[in-house]
């Protein structure tokens, strides 16, 4: 029996762990793998009990990008439709997605990592944009997202050289939130997921949408968007809601009493 190319585990309420499962190919994005990623995230989007996702790779790599052996000389296989666009599928999930980057994240794999809301990297993780080396133009957002994340000169250095950026430099550049040992990677990602799951269930997707939607706008428009959504949300709250939520925050030790 052929092993699933994407493994989905539900270790506890609210949490899903999605693992790319082509370790023999460093989780390179074959058409079949891309389609299974899309199917997995579509299922999670339709599941109201799935609130936070941890995305990682099996074996030594997070994702080595498009499967160039499969593509061969057929350039049409580079073009993604909705059914095999893994980045769009990850972005469609309304809750936080934590990337547990356990190894190389190259080109399409880097784009998949950038689709995550938060990235934790192992010490062996490395990042590279090799689009220029293989002659394929990025189509999943890399050319625009990376420069906004790490700055234009650094993004251009990655794009124009194809060189690898090791985990420590990626952290210094702001490409990942933090670097931990390989043994600690999943426990760190799961602990962060638990912190996110402690938020009010209705608040988490709304706050993510506010941040993402505002980030795509000019600053003045983003402030207006925040004001409008704050008024809509906060006017619907009752004093009882606020009191109960404050008590929950105090119980977790998040504020001083």
Query: Does the pLDDT value for residue 241 go beyond 90?
Result: no
**What is the pLDDT confidence band of residue 3, given thresholds at 50, 70 and 90?**
confident
**What is the pLDDT confidence band of residue 257, given thresholds at 50, 70 and 90?**
very low
The C-alpha atoms of residue 76 and residue 8 are separated, in whole angstroms, by: 30
- Taking residues 158-165, what's their average pLDDT? 98
Q: Cβ atoms within 10 A of the Cβ of 8, count?
A: 17
**Domains along the chain?**
6-197 (3.90.226.10), 203-251 (no CATH)
Query: Does the pLDDT value for residue 17 go beyond 50?
Result: yes
pLDDT in tens, 203-214: 999 999 999 999
- Taking residues 148-177, what's their average pLDDT? 98
**What per-residue confidence (pLDDT) applies to 70?**
81
**What per-residue confidence (pLDDT) applies to 256?**
45
The C-alpha atoms of residue 50 and residue 28 are separated, in whole angstroms, by: 26
């Amino acid at each position: 029996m052929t092993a699933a190319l994407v493994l989905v585990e539900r270790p506890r309420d609210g949490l899903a762990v999605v693992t790319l499962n082509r370790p023999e190919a460093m989780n390179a994005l074959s058409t079949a793998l891309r389609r299974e990623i899309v199917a997995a995230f579509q299922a999670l989007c339709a599941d109201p009990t799935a609130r936070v996702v941890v995305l990682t790779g099996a074996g030594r790599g997070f994702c080595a990008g498009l499967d160039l052996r499969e593509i061969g000389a057929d350039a049409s296989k580079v073009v993604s439709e909705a059914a095999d666009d893994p980045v769009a599928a990850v972005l469609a999930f309304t809750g936080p997605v934590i990337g547990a980057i356990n190894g190389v994240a190259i080109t399409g794999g880097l784009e998949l990592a950038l689709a995550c809301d938060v990235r934790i990297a192992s010490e062996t993780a490395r990042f590279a944009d090799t689009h220029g080396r293989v002659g394929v133009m990025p189509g999943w957002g890399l050319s625009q997202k990376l420069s906004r994340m790490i700055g234009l000169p650094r993004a251009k250095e990655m794009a124009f050289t194809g060189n690898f950026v090791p985990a420590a430099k990626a952290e210094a550049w702001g490409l990942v939130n933090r670097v931990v040992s390989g043994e600690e990677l999943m426990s760190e990602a799961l602990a962060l997921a638990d912190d996110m799951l402690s938020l009010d269930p209705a608040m988490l997707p709304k706050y993510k949408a506010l941040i993402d939607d505002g980030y795509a706008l000019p600053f003045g428009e983003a402030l207006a968007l925040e004001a409008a959504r704050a008024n809509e949300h906060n006017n619907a709250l009752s004093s009882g809601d606020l009191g109960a939520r404050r008590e929950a925050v105090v119980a977790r030790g998040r504020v001083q009493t």
